[in-house]
Chains A and B, each alone.
Chain A
Amino acid sequence: MPESHRRPGRRTAAAVFVVVLALLAAALPAQAAAIQAGRARYAAAIEPLAGYQPQTMCSPTAKPGVADFSRRLLKAFPSTRSLGIVRACSAGGRSEHKEGRAFDWGVSARSAADRARVARVVAWLTRPDVYGNRFAMARRLGIQYVIWNHKIWGTYAATSGWRRYTGANPHTDHVHFSFTWAGARRATSFWTGKVGNVVAAPLPTTPAPRVPVPPGTPAKPGTPPAPPAPPRSQPRPADALPPGPELVDETLDLPGSAAGAVTSGALVAGQDYLIEASGTWQYGRNAGMLADAECSRTATDATWRRDRSVHELDPTSDHLDLYVDGTDLLSDPDTDTGGQCDTASHTYRYVYRPWRSGRVTFQSWDPTPLSDNSGALSIRILRSAPVEDVTFAVPAGAAAGVTSPGALSAGQTYLVTVSGTVDAGAGVTADAECSSTPSDPVWRRERAADPAYPGVERLDVLLDKSAVAFDPVTDADGSRCDASNHSYRFTLTPRTTRPVNLRVDDLYRGDDAGAFTARITRVVQPSGPETVTVSSTAAADATTARTYLAGKPVKLTATGTYTYAAGTTSDARCSATTADPTWRSNRLLDAGGNQLGDATVNGRVPSWRTASGAACDSTTHTYTYTYTPTVTGPLSLGVADLTRGDNAGSLTVTVEPVA
């Protein structure tokens, strides 16, 4: 049944609610500033309307999403105040304040200006976004309900609008904002851009005791068990960041036994950095107590989990995560092997934009003493500044691949060239696209070299985890394999400015060896002419020194003559013989009727034209052709002759982009 038939009264109330908000928002106090959004833009994906997640634990520390929201509100409305986030668990009844999940915003319902402020905030929280998502900001923030001026509005009954609040405190001196766990933890799309889990409370697992007591062990009379040491506090931003040289690309180790690790270089406020954290560390003596940048397991729970508390006095916090400058990174797994964890490579990435400049500290939040920890995370911090030309190695055994040392700019064209061969194990040698085996040494593009997956082609180089079709730089036999130089190219025009990741697609990397060489160059269409000498005797075609963009036409001008064979002279299109000195365009044909002796461009014979329109230019031997490359790269120029041993001389080809 349509909602309008079911609850006519609520529709009316909701409509009145929206109209009133609009009217009140129009009366915005002059001193109010915009509420700062968590991100510059949002995707269409959004959290569903949250259910109610009551307080179940004692965790009286302000959760980061609530604290950050409160700061934004107080900044936007400088005359308003905070009436608090946390409350001791012994004070009063059930309340999300005891879990640091609620914020009381100090405004007065008796003040018209304050009422307008509240109206503006509520309108901001509940209006549809550009995608038509209703109650958009409230959903993105993970808010579960709001109490104000005798009324309550909850996402669990969002379309009902405001309903009468029956609690003893009328909330006329403050607005109460209550958050879901995901919102409180800053793990919703408002902050991360990714849809958070606001449906169920992602409570951490119950921590296992560090020193298990055997069952049945009698307690010594009169000696109560010693309380555990209080938890080490959650990482916080340093009061100030030390200066340093600007960080471009740095890798540091964060030992599990260290309180933190500081970068050598300084980050610049507002600049994007890719943070790539990999590896595992041990947070206790037991070898099963392992953590990576985001997930962990315990001695008794072998499942890697994103949320976990390891301190019984702090059961609702999410411990063992990686922090930078006091901020939980909430990074993405390279490969989600379940539960947003990466148990394959233990590699996570996060694009971090610091709010202040300086050298930053990385910390793993272990609330227990660090002295029994071991192992380390490897953290690479990469400035997302555009690069023009970078070369880097891609080891075949790098499970999470290698990320380019620099970003590719959105809308620009790049040539990604991968060269070399690697040992893929079991005698298989692979390049970026093709492979060769002991039993079949022919380089083949399609080969199921993995015995575990006989129908699946693997061992190719993946770009951003996707199989893209690299083109061979040279392809003598038309197999689309570069069996001589093992060099392949791919043209990429990214839509966002970002680094790219290259890796070998191999499920079994333990027996892999060697590395590819990757080079990424930004390509711009050159200007002015480039002249290339095309030898008629060279086995390989000549190539332009410059790279030309696909889809951008160039004018080719070929001049000169060369000896095609004894008694036969050829230019770019025509030929003459001693017996028949007339220059003719159709003299040299192979069995298939293809022109022989003509100048070729990227392996094909174009329709060369003379200036006069005649078939041949027997005077200057000059021909032109406007060519539009279909792939970005240098142009290959040659002559259509497979038997070049009897040739002599060369042609001259000029390449000039068409304006």
Chain B
Amino acid sequence: MVRDARRSGVPGAALALAAALLMSGCGAGGSTATTNAGSSGTPSAGVTAAPTASGSQPASPSPAGSSLPTLPPGDPGTDAPGTDDPNATPSQTDDHGSAPARTAVPAQAMLDAATVASMTGSQWSTGAAPKDSCTAPLPRTSVAHRSVALSGGSAGGILETVATYRDAAAAVAAVRDLERRLAACHDSDASDPRIGEASVQATVTSPDGTTTLVTAIAAEGVVAVLSGKGPVTAADLWSSLTDLALGNTCAAAADGCH
């Protein structure tokens, strides 16, 4: 029970973290990375190198000039013996997620202006990230978090915060907590878009009448919170962006991308 062992080892740290977060605000730059020291019990050493999945390639591939693999990463080869039941109950010790949470969120885990531009068909740039608020909420009790604000002019704007947690359960709990906070801030109808291990989506309205679409997703010990305004929140487009944000969270996950 790896997860339980980790959980039992950090109650004091978690309380300290919660207290620290209540005191902290949000980063002020276009993209900010914060390590919540003491939350993981490991030394803060900047961006932790992502563990590479067995069989995966070490870097993003180049379209030409490199030899292409003939098997997917992790495939032992077509001559490998067949196995029996693919649905066997996994043992209690072979689950993943045993690595400690990252103490810094890498930039690769965040949405970037170029990718968002390619999806929306308009120009995007980074801007100042606002402080924690009901319309740009930060997840609490994280090990580390990083925020980025993206502006698409008439296409709208996005604020994204990615936070790491000590384990998957804590990340799910953070999404549930965020759901309660949104409900407390606004009389909004929150729904579950069924992405990640837990998710919530709500449209919140500011006193000035501005509406913001907020989506929070937990996946493998990481939470991504997206707040969007304007045309970028159109259903299909927002769905694509949240899917991309979910996919990027692997860069901040303890086990890395697979």
A152 near B74: Cβ-Cβ < 8 Å: yes
- Is residue A285 within 8 Å, beta carbon to beta carbon, of the partner chain? no
Could you give, for residues 73-90 of chain A, a 1 whenever the CB lies within 8 Å of some chain B CB and a 0 otherwise? 010000011111111111
B247 near A88: Cβ-Cβ < 8 Å: yes
* Residues 232-290 of A at the B interface (beta carbon under 8 Å): 232-233, 236-237, 239
Could you give, for residues 521-558 of chain A, a 1 whenever the CB lies within 8 Å of some chain B CB and a 0 otherwise? 00000000000000000000000000000000000000
- Is residue B122 within 8 Å, beta carbon to beta carbon, of the partner chain? yes
A109 near B55: Cβ-Cβ < 8 Å: no
A9 near B81: Cβ-Cβ < 8 Å: yes
A232 near B55: Cβ-Cβ < 8 Å: no
| A150, B194: Cα distance in complex, Å | 24
Q: How far is the CB of B66 from chain A (nearest CB, A)?
A: 9
B256 near A151: Cβ-Cβ < 8 Å: no
Q: How far is the CB of B50 from chain A (nearest CB, A)?
A: 7
- Is residue B95 within 8 Å, beta carbon to beta carbon, of the partner chain? yes
B76 near A92: Cβ-Cβ < 8 Å: no
Contact of A93 among B59, B80, B124, B199 (CB under 8 A): B59
- Is residue A583 within 8 Å, beta carbon to beta carbon, of the partner chain? no
Q: How far is the CB of B126 from chain A (nearest CB, A)?
A: 15
Q: Which residues of B contact A122 (CB under 8 A)?
A: 86
B119 near A162: Cβ-Cβ < 8 Å: no
A84 near B108: Cβ-Cβ < 8 Å: no
Contact of A60 among B90, B115, B251 (CB under 8 A): B115
| A313, B76: Cα distance in complex, Å | 34
Q: Which residues of B contact A119 (CB under 8 A)?
A: 87
Q: Which residues of A contact B47 (CB under 8 A)?
A: none
Count contacts on A: residues with CB < 8 A to the other chain. 85
Contact of A92 among B50, B70, B72, B90 (CB under 8 A): B50
Could you give, for residues 1-41 of chain A, a 1 whenever the CB lies within 8 Å of some chain B CB and a 0 otherwise? 00000000110111011001000100000000000000000
CB contact under 8 A between A62 and B243, given known A91-B250, A148-B86, A167-B73: yes
B84 near A13: Cβ-Cβ < 8 Å: yes
A93 near B73: Cβ-Cβ < 8 Å: yes
- Is residue A173 within 8 Å, beta carbon to beta carbon, of the partner chain? yes
| A63, B151: Cα distance in complex, Å | 25
- Is residue A55 within 8 Å, beta carbon to beta carbon, of the partner chain? yes
* Most chain A CB atoms below 10 A, which of B52, B80, B87: B87
- Is residue A314 within 8 Å, beta carbon to beta carbon, of the partner chain? yes
Contact of A151 among B54, B57, B86 (CB under 8 A): B86
A115 near B87: Cβ-Cβ < 8 Å: yes
Q: Which residues of B contact A10 (CB under 8 A)?
A: 81-82
- Is residue A564 within 8 Å, beta carbon to beta carbon, of the partner chain? no
Q: Which residues of B contact A88 (CB under 8 A)?
A: 108, 111-112, 115, 244, 247-248, 251
B234 near A164: Cβ-Cβ < 8 Å: no
Q: Which residues of B contact A607 (CB under 8 A)?
A: none
Q: Which residues of A contact B71 (CB under 8 A)?
A: 52, 154, 156
B118 near A16: Cβ-Cβ < 8 Å: no
Q: How far is the CB of A80 from chain B (nearest CB, A)?
A: 8
A93 near B89: Cβ-Cβ < 8 Å: no
- B69, closest chain A residue (CB): A54
A150 near B90: Cβ-Cβ < 8 Å: yes
- B121, closest chain A residue (CB): A233
B51 near A236: Cβ-Cβ < 8 Å: no
- Is residue B246 within 8 Å, beta carbon to beta carbon, of the partner chain? yes
- A313, closest chain B residue (CB): B118
B74 near A93: Cβ-Cβ < 8 Å: no
CB contact under 8 A between A91 and B74, given known A56-B68, A83-B219, A168-B258: no
- Is residue B133 within 8 Å, beta carbon to beta carbon, of the partner chain? no
Contact of B258 among A162, A167, A233 (CB under 8 A): A167
Q: How far is the CB of A538 from chain B (nearest CB, A)?
A: 70
| A80, B107: Cα distance in complex, Å | 30
A93 near B236: Cβ-Cβ < 8 Å: no
Q: How far is the CB of A32 from chain B (nearest CB, A)?
A: 15
- Is residue A377 within 8 Å, beta carbon to beta carbon, of the partner chain? no
B257 near A61: Cβ-Cβ < 8 Å: no
A165 near B87: Cβ-Cβ < 8 Å: no
| A112, B88: Cα distance in complex, Å | 9
A92 near B112: Cβ-Cβ < 8 Å: no
Q: Which residues of B contact A513 (CB under 8 A)?
A: none
| A437, B73: Cα distance in complex, Å | 71
- Is residue B240 within 8 Å, beta carbon to beta carbon, of the partner chain? yes
A9 near B54: Cβ-Cβ < 8 Å: no
- Is residue A178 within 8 Å, beta carbon to beta carbon, of the partner chain? yes
A54 near B119: Cβ-Cβ < 8 Å: no
CB contact under 8 A between A93 and B117, given known A52-B72, A164-B83: no
A230 near B121: Cβ-Cβ < 8 Å: yes
B82 near A84: Cβ-Cβ < 8 Å: no
| A156, B236: Cα distance in complex, Å | 33
| A109, B91: Cα distance in complex, Å | 10
B84 near A91: Cβ-Cβ < 8 Å: no
A170 near B196: Cβ-Cβ < 8 Å: no
Contact of A74 among B51, B194, B220 (CB under 8 A): B194
Q: Which residues of B contact A164 (CB under 8 A)?
A: 76, 80-81, 83
B56 near A163: Cβ-Cβ < 8 Å: no
- Is residue A145 within 8 Å, beta carbon to beta carbon, of the partner chain? yes
- Is residue A516 within 8 Å, beta carbon to beta carbon, of the partner chain? no
| A87, B240: Cα distance in complex, Å | 11
A149 near B86: Cβ-Cβ < 8 Å: yes
A9 near B82: Cβ-Cβ < 8 Å: yes
Q: How far is the CB of B246 from chain A (nearest CB, A)?
A: 4
- Is residue B109 within 8 Å, beta carbon to beta carbon, of the partner chain? yes
- A89, closest chain B residue (CB): B60
- Is residue A406 within 8 Å, beta carbon to beta carbon, of the partner chain? no
- Is residue A376 within 8 Å, beta carbon to beta carbon, of the partner chain? no
B86 near A20: Cβ-Cβ < 8 Å: yes
A20 near B84: Cβ-Cβ < 8 Å: yes
- B85, closest chain A residue (CB): A20
Contact of B75 among A13, A165, A367 (CB under 8 A): A165
Q: How far is the CB of B52 from chain A (nearest CB, A)?
A: 6
- Is residue A106 within 8 Å, beta carbon to beta carbon, of the partner chain? yes
A163 near B83: Cβ-Cβ < 8 Å: yes
Q: Which residues of B contact A165 (CB under 8 A)?
A: 74-76
Could you give, for residues 160-200 of chain B, a 1 whenever the CB lies within 8 Å of some chain A CB and a 0 otherwise? 00000000000000000000000000000000001111010
A230 near B123: Cβ-Cβ < 8 Å: yes
- Is residue A217 within 8 Å, beta carbon to beta carbon, of the partner chain? no
CB contact under 8 A between A92 and B235, given known A61-B119, A169-B258: no
B197 near A62: Cβ-Cβ < 8 Å: no
CB contact under 8 A between A149 and B243, given known A154-B72, A165-B74, A167-B53: no
| A230, B113: Cα distance in complex, Å | 10
B95 near A172: Cβ-Cβ < 8 Å: yes
Q: How far is the CB of B69 from chain A (nearest CB, A)?
A: 5
Q: Which residues of A contact B240 (CB under 8 A)?
A: 61-62, 86
Q: Which residues of A contact B119 (CB under 8 A)?
A: 60-61, 233
- Is residue A484 within 8 Å, beta carbon to beta carbon, of the partner chain? no
| A151, B250: Cα distance in complex, Å | 21
Q: Which A positions have Cβ atoms within 8 angstroms of B?
A: 9-10, 12-14, 16-17, 20, 24, 52, 54-58, 60-62, 74, 80-95, 97-98, 106, 109-110, 112, 115-116, 118-119, 122, 145, 147-154, 156-157, 160-173, 178, 229-233, 236-237, 239, 313-315, 326, 367
Known A-B contacts: A81-B194, A118-B86, A156-B78. Give 13 more (CB < 8 A). Answer: A20-B84, A58-B60, A61-B118, A84-B195, A88-B115, A92-B108, A95-B56, A109-B89, A115-B87, A152-B75, A163-B76, A168-B52, A229-B123
Question: 9 closest A-B pairs (Cβ-Cβ)?
Answer: A92-B257, A13-B82, A167-B74, A87-B247, A169-B258, A233-B121, A93-B56, A230-B117, A94-B57
11 A–B contacts from the bound complex (CB under 8 Å): A17-B82, A91-B108, A91-B251, A93-B257, A153-B86, A156-B78, A165-B75, A168-B51, A170-B94, A230-B120, A239-B235
